[in-house]
Amino acid sequence: MPAQGRRSDGKITRAKTIPMTEEPARQRKIIHVDMDAFFASVEQRDNPELRGKPVAVGSPAARGVVAAASYEARQFGVHSAMASIVAARKCPGLIFAPPRFEVYRAVSAQIREIFAEHTDLIEPLSLDEAYLDVTTNHQNIPVATDIANQIRTRIFEVTGLTASDGMTILHAYVPAYTW
């Protein structure tokens, strides 16, 4: 909706749309990568007894907060940022795993190395989430879906973890002056 104003004579004026650049916007291919239940999946990977079980990464203490929940725990309504006591009430068999951020950081570095095989334009959002601009990419793969599939396969080979839920391809029109 363009901005509107009322002139002193009562007529309504409509703001003109001012072009921000002479150059037309160009389409960029962006892949959004988000690891599945990242911290909880790392704990299940490294502790086989946690596999297939509801796991919350975090402290069960009274003031504890869930940092990540496994899929099994999510089925009970447990999610990250939930107070641990609430989580334990929702999911009676919930297993709390102490966070190991140094391990999550190391896995994150492995994943970023895989991204770097394809592009230098990486915008990390958190340890397990990033936007990759693959419009031009190091391996000259024309289709973003193919790059996403390669990244997903490599991540699984290298880390044993999945990013299957979190691969979204965005075709963003971005004015040329912003890149």
Q: Residue holding tokens 């999911």?
A: 91
Number of residues that bind Mg ion (CB under 5 A): 4
Query: Residue 136, CB half-sphere, CA atoms under 13 Å: how many?
Result: 3
Q: Of all residues in this chain, which one has the CB nearest to Mg ion in the complex?
A: 34
What would the x/- binding string for Mg ion be over residues 17 to 56, using CB under 5 A? -----------------xx--x------------------
For the CB of residue 153, give the shortest distance to Mg ion in the complex, in Å.
18
For the CB of residue 81, give the shortest distance to Mg ion in the complex, in Å.
13
129 is catalytic: yes
- 115-144: contacts with Mg ion (CB under 5 A): 128
- Which of the following is catalytic: 22, 102, 129, 157? 129
Q: Count CB atoms within 10 A of the CB of residue 111.
A: 24
Q: How many whole angstroms separate alpha carbon 162 and alpha carbon 153? A: 8
For the CB of residue 174, give the shortest distance to Mg ion in the complex, in Å.
25
The smaller minimum CB distance to Mg ion, of residues 37 and 94, is found at 37
Q: Does 169 bind Mg ion (CB under 5 A)?
A: no
Q: How many whole angstroms separate alpha carbon 92 and alpha carbon 80? A: 17
Q: How many whole angstroms separate alpha carbon 69 and alpha carbon 57? A: 6
For the CB of residue 20, give the shortest distance to Mg ion in the complex, in Å.
33
Token pair of 163, please? Answer: 């990013």
The smaller minimum CB distance to Mg ion, of residues 34 and 121, is found at 34
Q: Residue holding tokens 């901005």?
A: 3
Name 142's bridge partners: none
The smaller minimum CB distance to Mg ion, of residues 124 and 135, is found at 124
* Nearest to 80, CA basis, from 132, 34, 33, 130: 34
List, by residue number, the catalytic residues: 129
Write out the residues near Mg ion by the rule CB under 5 A: 34-35, 38, 128
